């Protein structure tokens, strides 16, 4: 090799004393190479200043070894845990994850799909199923495999998620079983958010089954921030009669509600019960710890990675993988205290 | 236009009754087009099924209108707020942000740089300055403008951040001023993390100035998780004499420490003071609320976007933009209680 020539895969293989296939594997699926070999190869790459030509490789294999994810938000770590597992599983397949966040805007999600498509991704993870048909069509026409996570979707498409509606109904039944009749809900913004809409429907359905009609169950939709949760909770506490249990569309709203309860001098759960959804780290940090729905973030992330890899490889896959949720009973749900005024 | 022909920019311009330049602007810098025009153009794009050819455009302008960020983690929303502001500011310049997370691994960060480079990004945001010189060289050779955020870096490169060392020293002085002499620290893992290392140095320097030598200030390094913070706090509380104030390298560690204190039956701040760093949302959620260092996430994200756009446009920029931090005194720092044993 000439001093000024760009080092090639062959040069690296020769320097490391391995085959070019092994060098490739070190770059594409490092976990499939034993550590000592990988180190020798990586050292040769470093010493020679070899730069893998991803562009060229992509052209050759039509693969970029890049996977995209478009999530609604990076804030409050709602999607962080699942995405982390998704990324770790992908990296075992030699894929790198690029993430964009849409701010819950379908228009921005669409723009990001276009960027992902033009930058070249082998596949795409989206959250849920609520989006304009045109966005779905865009990906189909481009032949980019994609799936929805965090929910189970409708007739079409591939999903790895859980049943938001059933989980919310199950938690509501638990609240009703404690003796609560005056329920209220702080839901996420349901427009173009199937997870938020399903959770709201689940709460309503369980309440109706218990003989509480929808018009006796006040629901406020609020963006997933502490402040919005607190504000909505304040409004619900001003109702007469006051709700004895407030079901929240996620943990962030629930923690906002708890903060407001403290401000109002209301004890949780003695004066009012509050429940969350997601079981993010936050749920274990507040006092009392939050009763919530545990979402299987790790298993979902891993299963999503495996499904997407299969879609990319054009292998057979099931259309939906449902992962069970669980109710985590901690300290914020108790029986209602009889109203001193009645 | 033939029914089967791919619609072009000209077709869109004609359908919307605007110039092709206006259509381009709608796609590249939508905020620079008035809303009614933009809507008309977007409708024409939708109706015709026009797909902007980013690849071709990138070749023409050598720009992809994509910016990358490689952050250490998406968990606990440590970087989420700043990144959100970064993204919002970028979108005003018509740029889309793609994010990768390296898990605090320099090797993975390097891989992600290679992916970003091969996918085509106009510029790159990195966190801090601690990384192998080879990684920096890789970006320089490829001509990809980049900057470091969350810290101020060394001699070389561009930075938008704050003085982690001075901020940690300032908070330590505040702790000392309350009368504490038996300090301890739970630091982040300092290897290849300049922010964690600077915070540790700041605490040590302030303590030394107050006559407390380094060997009388126990420091445990811990990964940024609640569990690791709790474990380290437990170990510090087992020391004799027991520290009366524990300075934590970030809010996540501090909240983990608070949880452990509760478990141990220690009141905060009566029995032990605890401080954090970052002022993420979490800090306002725990009880008592956390005394911490407020990091100017929004201003930093915006300033980083502006600097990176200037670097991409080859405009003149300052090498460093320092954004001031502030100490937020809440409920976890109080005076030390005299030790009953002494």
The helix (run of H) or strand (run of E) holding residue A91 is: helix A80-92
**Average pLDDT value for residue range A239-256:** 97
- Pairing mode, strands B146-149 and B159-161: parallel
The phi, psi pair for A294, rounded to 5°, reads -80, 120
Cβ(A109)–Cβ(B115) below 8 Å: no
Mean pLDDT of chain B: 90
The nearest alpha carbon in chain B to A82 belongs to: B75
Percent of chain A's residues with pLDDT above 90: 73
The whole-angstrom separation of Cα B123 and Cα B128 is 16
| Contacts of A213 by beta carbon, 8 Å cutoff, 6+ apart | none
User: Would you list the DSSP string of B26-37?
Assistant: HHH-GGGS-HHH
> What does each C-alpha distance from B235 to B226, B240, B257 come to in angstroms?
14, 11, 10
The whole-angstrom separation of Cα A274 and Cα B25 is 48
Six-digit token string for A151 = 């929910």
* pLDDT in the model for residue A227: 95
3-state DSSP assignment of residue A36: helix
- Residues of A in Cβ contact (< 8 Å) with B74: 74, 77, 80, 83-84, 99
Q: What is the pLDDT of residues B297-337, one digit of tens each?
A: 999 999 999 999 999 999 999 999 999 999 999 999 999 98
Tell whether the model's pLDDT for residue A247 goes beyond 90: yes
Residue with tokens 């991803």: A54
The nearest alpha carbon in chain A to B50 belongs to: A138
- Pairing mode, strands A326-328 and A292-294: antiparallel
The helix (run of H) or strand (run of E) holding residue A321 is: strand A320-322
Residue with tokens 């391995």: A18
Residue with tokens 């985590």: A328
What is the distance, to the nearest Å, from the Cα of residue B195 to the centroid of all Cα atoms in its chain? 10
For residue B70, the cross-strand partners are B100, B126
Which residues of chain B register pLDDT less than 70?
1-7, 28-31, 49-62, 339-342
Distance from CA of A148 to the nearest CA of B (A): 19
Q: What is the pLDDT of residues B2-43, one digit of tens each?
A: 334 556 788 888 888 888 888 887 776 666 778 788 888 878
* pLDDT in the model for residue A193: 96
- Residues of A in Cβ contact (< 8 Å) with B87: 101
Distance from CA of A115 to the nearest CA of B (A): 7
* pLDDT in the model for residue A62: 64
Indicate the pLDDT class of residue A74, thresholds 50, 70 and 90: confident
Q: What is the CA radius of gyration of chain B?
A: 25
Q: What is the pLDDT of residues A99-141, one digit of tens each?
A: 999 999 999 999 999 999 988 999 999 999 999 999 999 999 8
Q: What is the pLDDT of residues A34-61, one digit of tens each?
A: 878 888 887 887 777 666 554 444 434 5
Q: What is the pLDDT of residues A303-316, one digit of tens each?
A: 999 999 999 999 99
Give the residue from B287, B280, B260 showing the smallest Cα distance to B328.
B280
Distance from CA of B210 to the nearest CA of A (A): 34
* pLDDT in the model for residue B75: 82
Instruction: Enumerate domains of chain A plus CATH numbers.
Output: 9-52 (1.10.260.40), 65-162+296-325 (3.40.50.2300), 164-295 (3.40.50.2300)
| Contacts of B306 by beta carbon, 8 Å cutoff, 6+ apart | B89
- Residue in A119, A134, A274 to test binding to B, most B beta-carbons within 10 Å: A119
The phi, psi pair for A100, rounded to 5°, reads -125, 150
Facing A255 at nearest CB: one of B80, B98, B285: B285
Q: Which letter, b or e, does each residue of A28-55 get, where b requires 16 or more Cβ atoms within 10 Å of its Cβ?
A: bebeebeeebbebbbebbeebebebebe
* pLDDT in the model for residue A326: 98
Cβ(B332)–Cβ(B248) below 8 Å: no
Facing B46 at nearest CB: one of A120, A134, A259: A134
């Amino acid at each position: 090799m000439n001093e000024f020539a760009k080092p090639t895969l062959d040069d690296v293989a020769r320097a490391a004393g391995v085959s070019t296939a092994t060098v490739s594997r070190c770059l594409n699926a490092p976990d499939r190479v034993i550590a000592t070999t990988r180190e020798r190869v990586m050292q040769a790459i470093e010493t020679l200043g070899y730069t893998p030509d991803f562009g060229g490789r992509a052209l050759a294999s039509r693969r970029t070894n890049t996977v995209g994810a478009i999530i609604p938000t990076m804030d409050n770590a709602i999607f962080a845990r699942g995405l982390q597992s998704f990324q770790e599983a992908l990296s075992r397949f030699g894929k790198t994850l690029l993430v964009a966040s849409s701010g819950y805007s379908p228009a921005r999600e669409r723009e990001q799909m276009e960027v992902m498509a033009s930058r070249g991704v082998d596949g795409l993870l989206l959250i849920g199923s609520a989006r304009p048909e045109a966005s779905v069509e865009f990906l189909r026409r481009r032949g980019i495999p994609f799936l929805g996570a965090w929910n189970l979707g409708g007739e079409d498409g591939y999903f790895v998620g859980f049943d938001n509606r059933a989980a919310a109904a199950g938690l509501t039944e638990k609240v009703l079983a404690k003796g609560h009749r005056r329920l209220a809900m702080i839901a996420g913004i349901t427009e173009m958010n199937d997870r938020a809409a399903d959770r709201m429907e689940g709460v309503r359905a369980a309440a109706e089954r218990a003989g509480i009609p929808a018009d006796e169950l006040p629901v406020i939709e609020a963006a997933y921030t502490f402040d919005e949760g607190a504000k909505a909770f304040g409004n619900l506490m001003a109702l007469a009669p006051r709700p004895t249990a407030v079901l929240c569309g996620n943990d962030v709203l629930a923690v906002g509600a708890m903060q407001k309860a403290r401000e109002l001098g209301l004890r949780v759960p003695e004066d009012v019960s509050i429940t969350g959804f997601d079981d993010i780290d936050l749920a274990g940090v507040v006092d009392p710890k939050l009763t919530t729905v545990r979402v299987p973030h790790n298993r979902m992330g891993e299963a999503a990675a495996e499904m997407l890899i299969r879609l990319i490889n054009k292998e057979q896959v099931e259309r939906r993988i449902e992962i069970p949720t669980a109710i985590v009973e901690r300290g914020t749900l108790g029986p209602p205290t009889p109203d001193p005024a009645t």
